[in-house]
Structure 1
C-alpha cells in the first residue's frame, strides 16, 4: 500500500486541531477587516470633510475615533490569532516528535546497525525543529498573507474596478517567480540538510571515540574530514542565499515601484479628463502598498518552508520503516526458561551466514557457556534469543513456544542481560538498578546490590544509594559499573539470565565477588554466558565451542579438556602454559593468521 504524501501527512497532523485553527482564522479575518478599514475611513474623511470646504468636525472626530477603535481591535485580533496559531503549531510538532520517538522504539536493530547515531539524533532534534518552522511560517505568514491579500483586493475593487483588474496580474507573476525560486533552491537546501546530518553523525562519533582519535593522532585527519563537510554545506548555502537575494525583496520591491508608478500615471491621466477624488487616489496607493508586504513576508518564509519540507520527508522516511508494536505485557506468564535452538541459520547480510545449523538446549537451572574467537557467532546467538533479529532458518523456542509467535516485550519481560561494556543512565545508583520499575522497592535494590557484592562500595559513596551517576557512569570504575549492571539484572528476577562477556573487563578481586554471587542467582534460572575468561565457566553445565558460526565442540569443562581440541588449546593458552604449536594453525581456507584475529563486526561476536 503506497504511503501518503508528505503534504497529506502534515495536513493530517494539523486537522487534529482543526477547531483551534478555524477559530484563529475567523479572528484573523476580523483583524484584517479592521486593518483594511483604516484607509477607507481616511478616504471618507478626505473626500467628504476636508476637500473644498469646512466639514462637520464632529463627524470627522467620530470617524477618527472609529479609525482608532479599528486599529485597537486589529491589534487585539492579530495578537489572539498569532498566539492561537503559533501554540497550535507547537502542539503539532510536539505530536510529530513524540510519534517519531515512539516509532524509533519499534524499529528493528538492523536499521541502527547501518545508520549513524548522529543521523537519527538529527532527525529527532533538527529535522522536527525545521518542520516546526513550516507550521509556524505557514500559519503565521502564508495563511495571514493570503487573508490580507484577499481583503486588499476586495477593497481595491470597491475603489476602482479597472485598476483592480490590472493589479490582479500581480499574484500570478509572483507565483511564477516563487516557482522558479523553489525549483532552483531545493537542490541546494537538500544538500545543506544532508551535510548537516553528516556533520552531526561525525560529531557524535568523534566525541564517542575521542580517546582513540587522540591516541592515534588523528586530530588533523578528523578536522579535515569535518572541514570538507562543513565547506560543502557553506558553498551550497551561499548558492541558495544568492537565489533568495535575487528573487525575494529585490524583485518584489522593483515590481512594486513600477506598479505604483503606473497607478500614479493612471490617476494623473484621469485628472486631465475629469475631476478625480483625492481620497480614492490616497486609498488606492495605500492599499497597493499593502499588497507587497504579505508578498515579501511569503518570500522571506519560503526558504524555511522548503527546508521544512525536505526535513519532513526525512522524518516520515523513518516513520515509514516497518516496526513491531510495543505491547503492554504486565500479565505475561513467567516462563520456566527452557531454551532450545533447532537448526538455526542466520546472516546479517544476505549470503554471508554468521550462524550455521546451530542446535542446543538449555533447561531451567542450567548454565550454558558460549566460547570462541572473535567473529565465531557468540553474540549473534544472544541477539537472536533476545529477538533483536530473526533467524533465516530453523526455530528458537522457550518452553516449547516459538519466540517468533511472541511479542518482543513479552519475550524480553523475563530476561535479564549484562553486557561487557555496562551502560549506566544519568540519575542515581538506585535508579540505575530499578529503572523506575514500581515492583522494585528500595529494599530490593539494596538486596540486589548486596547479592552481587556491590553494597560495600555503594555505601562508602558520599550519597550512598542516592549518589548521582552521570551518563555512562564515567565517574565509577569499570568493575563498579559492572556490579551495578549485575544488580540491575538480578533485581528484575529474570527467568533467563544472559551474560555477554560480563567479566571480561573486571579485576580479579571483583571477578571473585561476581562468581560467588552468580552461584546464588543462577539457581533456578537458565543462564547463558558468553565467556572470554574460560576460568569463569569451569562450573557450567554445558560449554559450546563455536568456530565460524558452527558448534564444533560441546560438553562440560572436564569432557572438553579430555578431547584436547579447540577448547583445550584456548584454556592452556589462557593459563599461560605452553600449548601445542598448532593451537592457532590456520585452516586451509582460513587465510593464514587471520584465524586468531578475524575482522568481523562486533555484533557478530
Structure 2
C-alpha cells in the first residue's frame, strides 16, 4: 500500500487550493528572506559605505558633500562622464572617524597618533595625514545616505508586513484545503462502510471502526495542516536560504548543503524505529475505543453481574500499553530532535568561524560586515524550519500510520450503493437447493428448498443455531450463498443489486432499533417519498396511535439513542408502522413478539395481521402460538428442513414440532397467574 500516492490523489481533488497556498507560501518566504539582503545593502552600502573612496568634484549636485569649501562625492556615485578629482577617505578608528586627504593603499589595524593615521598589516605599515571629524562634520558625509537608509528601512518593514499577510493567507488556504480533504475522506470512509459486506462487521469491533472515522482521519488532518505545512514551509525556506547563501558565497553555501543529507538520514532512522511504536499506539487506541463502546452499550449487564472491576482491569491493561508505547515514542523524539538541531547548528557555526576567521587571519578577507551579518542571519534562520520539521516527525509517523489504517478500510471489497428505481415485485420467493456457510465449509444451511407465494405466511421454527436467521440473511443478501439459487418473482437475487433486493423486503427485528430523532423520522427514515399522512395512516393501521397518543409531542416526540425512553411494545409498533409505510412485497418478522408481554401480544398480533395483508411474510417464531395460521411452517434442525406443513399437519406427524408445541403449552400452563 503506497500511502503517499493515495494521499496525493486526495490532494488532487483540491489542487487549485493547494497550489494557491503554495504560491502564497513562496511569496511569503521570498518576503521574509529579503530581510537579510536588505540589511546587507543597508550596512555595506549606506552605513559602512562611508569608508569607500571619495573624490573631489567641481560642482555641487546630488550625493555631493561640502567639506571645508570643497565638494566631495563617493566614487560609486560617479557616472562615466564625470571627472574624478583628488581621492580622499573617511575611515573609522575605534569610536572616531578621521578624514584622510589622500588615497589609502594599505588597510589593517588602525591607530591615530596626533594628526597621523598609522595602518599596520602584517609587516607592512602605512602612514597618512588625518583629521578627526566632529559629529557635525561626520553627519555631512552621511547626509546623502539618509534618504536611502530610510527607504530601505521602510522597504524592510514593508516586506515584514507583506510576509505576515501572506503567512495568514497561506495558512488559511492550507487549512481550508486540508479540511476539504478530510471532509471528503470521511465521506468516502462512510460510503465505504456502507459498501462493505456484513461479515466485515462480524470481525471488527464497532469502536475500532468509529476510531477509523474520527481519530484516524483527524490524525490525517494534522498531516496536512501541521506536518506537511511544516515540511513544505521548511523545504521552501531551506531552498530559499541556500539560494541566498549561494548568492553571497558559493564555497560556504556548499558546506551548508551538507545539512540536507544529514537531515534526510536522521529522518530515515527516526521513521525506522518510530513506525512500530506508532502502529501499536494507534491499534491500542482503537481497542480502547472498542472497549469503551462495548462497556457503554452493556452497562446494565456489567452492573447486574458486578463486572465493573473486570472491565476496569481490561481498560487499565490497554491504557498502560498505550501509555508505555507513547512514552517510548516520546523518549525517541527527545533523544533525536534536540540533539539533531544542536549538532547541525554546531557544525554550521563551526564552518562559519573556520571560514571567515581563517580568511581574516590569512589577511585575504574580502568579506564585508554586511555579508557576514547576512550569512549568520541566514544560517540562524536555516535552523528554524529544521526545528519545525524535526519536531513534527512524531506526528508525521502517527499520521501515516492512521492514513494506512484508513486506506486499509477503504481497500476492503464491497459493492456500490446504487439508488436505482426498482419496480415493486409481487413477492413470490423460491429457494432451490441452497447451501450456505459463514466461513470455510462449515455449512449452517444444507440443501434448503421451499417456495413462498404472494400473500402467504411462511414460519421458521427450531432450536437456537438451527439456521432460521441464516435463511433471512441469505434472502437479504447480508451474506452470499455458496450453492443453489434464491429467486423473487423468477429473478435470481444474485443478478440484482443488493439495493434492488432489499427494496422488496421489509424487516421487523426481535429488538427493534430506533434512531436518534423523532417518532415520525423513525418511521419514514427521512425518506421524502413517505409523507406525514402516510406515517399517520401506518401508525393508525397497526394500532400504535392509541399507545403513542399520550406522548406530549405526538409524532414529533424526541427519540434518543436506541429509543431507550420507549417501552419494548412501543418500539415494536413503530417498527411495524415503518414496515407498513415502506409497503414492501416481502416482510420478515424476526421473532418480533418474543420480548412482548402477554397483554401487549394481542395488540401486536392485530398489528401483524394488518401488516401481513397482501405480502409474502416470513416469520422466525419463538412462540409457536403466534404461527397457528401460517400457510407453511418449516421446522429447522441442524441447517436442514426436518419437517414442513401447516400447524395441523405437523401436529398430526407428532415429530419435532409436536414436541416443541407440547413443551411450550405445558410451560405456559405451569406459569402461575
| Aligned residues of 2:252 and 2:351 also touching (Cα < 8 A) | no
Match of 1:467 in 2: 557
Deviations 1:568-591 (A, max 9, x none): 111111112699xxxxxxxxxxxx
Match of 2:71 in 1: none
CA positional deviation for 1:466: 0.6
- Hey, what's the Cα distance between the residues in 1 that align with 2:13 and 2:214? 23
Match of 2:506 in 1: 416
| Aligned residues of 1:429 and 1:466 also touching (Cα < 8 A) | yes
Match of 2:458 in 1: 368
- Hey, what's the Cα distance between the residues in 2 that align with 1:408 and 1:500? 20
Match of 2:281 in 1: 192
Q: Check if 1:479 corresponds to 2:476.
A: no
Return the structure number with greater helix share. Answer: 1
Deviations 1:120-142 (A, max 9, x none): 11111111111111112344211
- Hey, what's the Cα distance between the residues in 1 that align with 2:227 and 2:208? 26
Equivalent residue for 1:277, pick from 363, 368, 371: 368
Describe the SS at the equivalent of 2:414: coil
**TM-score, length of structure 1 as denominator length:** 0.93
- Hey, what's the Cα distance between the residues in 1 that align with 2:165 and 2:667? 87
CA positional deviation for 1:496: 0.4
Match of 1:301 in 2: 392
Equivalent residue for 2:497, pick from 407, 431, 435: 407
| Aligned residues of 1:384 and 1:391 also touching (Cα < 8 A) | yes
Match of 1:323 in 2: 414
Match of 2:244 in 1: 155
CA positional deviation for 1:437: 1.4
CA positional deviation for 1:255: 2.6
CA positional deviation for 1:258: 4.0
- Hey, what's the Cα distance between the residues in 2 that align with 1:474 and 1:578? 29
Match of 2:136 in 1: none
Match of 2:160 in 1: 71
Higher RCO (CA < 8 A, seq sep 6+): 1
Match of 1:235 in 2: 324
CA positional deviation for 1:269: 2.6
Describe the SS at the equivalent of 2:306: coil
Match of 2:307 in 1: 218
- Hey, what's the Cα distance between the residues in 1 that align with 2:410 and 2:25? 34
Deviates more, 1:208-217 or 1:521-530: 208-217
Match of 2:624 in 1: 534
CA positional deviation for 1:476: 0.5
Match of 1:9 in 2: 6
CA positional deviation for 1:261: 3.8
Match of 2:205 in 1: 116
Match of 1:140 in 2: 229
| Aligned residues of 2:255 and 2:351 also touching (Cα < 8 A) | no
Name structure 1 gaps, 5 residues minimum: 580-605
How many pairs were matched up?
575
Match of 1:30 in 2: 27
- Hey, what's the Cα distance between the residues in 1 that align with 2:489 and 2:148? 93
| Aligned residues of 1:118 and 1:202 also touching (Cα < 8 A) | yes
- Hey, what's the Cα distance between the residues in 1 that align with 2:3 and 2:449? 47
- Hey, what's the Cα distance between the residues in 2 that align with 1:221 and 1:542? 48
Describe the SS at the equivalent of 1:397: strand
Larger radius of gyration: 2
Return the structure number with greater strand share. Answer: 2
Describe the SS at the equivalent of 2:378: helix
- Hey, what's the Cα distance between the residues in 1 that align with 2:228 and 2:278? 22
Match of 1:314 in 2: 405
Equivalent residue for 2:175, pick from 80, 83, 86: 86
| Aligned residues of 2:542 and 2:610 also touching (Cα < 8 A) | no
Q: Please, what is the CA RMSD of the aligned residues?
A: 1.5
CA positional deviation for 1:250: 3.1
Match of 1:509 in 2: 599
CA positional deviation for 1:50: 1.9
Match of 1:564 in 2: 654
Name structure 2 gaps, 5 residues minimum: 52-89, 91-140
| Aligned residues of 1:377 and 1:549 also touching (Cα < 8 A) | yes
- Hey, what's the Cα distance between the residues in 2 that align with 1:312 and 1:26? 26
The equivalences for 1:539-554 within 5 A come to 539-554=629-644
**TM-score, length of structure 2 as denominator length:** 0.84
Deviations 1:527-583 (A, max 9, x none): 00000011110010111111111111111111111111111111111112699xxxx
- Hey, what's the Cα distance between the residues in 2 that align with 1:172 and 1:139? 19
| Aligned residues of 1:86 and 1:139 also touching (Cα < 8 A) | no
